[in-house]
Amino acid sequence: GWLVKAEPLHRDLRPQLPADYAATMARVFASGGRLVIATEDDVVVGLAVWRVLENTMFGRFLYVDDLVTASALRSRGVGKALLSRCEAIAVELGCREFVLDSGVQRGDTHRFYFREGLVVRAFNFGKSLPVPSGT
């Protein structure tokens, strides 16, 4: 039931999510993604999607795909609590690093991350590719 309750908030951050949210999230979970939610009065007021990865740059690390707080509750500690929980999970799972990406247009979010001790260590470059037919 929590996934259904999380969908509207998740779409605030990711409006491009496919119509079949449950199936999309099932694939995310099957590939290692996990969900942490913050609730208030049975309503999802914040969420984080995270996963543990390993690469040659960081070794074993926890990567946050998404972190979003209900806009009416920003600056009330929900985002800080989610970030802290993800960092604690990273430590519990033996990760050497905690990593996330944030869109360049999200200045308020960046100020929050800086306050929480995150630093910019790299640029993330990307390129959209054509979707193969039949997928």
CB atoms within 10 A of CB 44: 21
Taking the alpha carbons of 40, 30, 93, 97 in that order, is the dihedral positive or negative?
Answer: negative
**What would you report as the CA-atom Rg of the chain, rounded to the nearest whole angstrom?**
15
Q: Which H/E stretch holds residue 82?
A: helix 78-92
Rounded to whole angstroms, how far apart are CA atoms 82 and 38?
7
For 35-89, how does the pLDDT look when each residue is reduced to its tens digit (9 = 90+)? 999 999 999 999 999 999 999 999 999 999 999 999 888 888 999 999 999 999 9
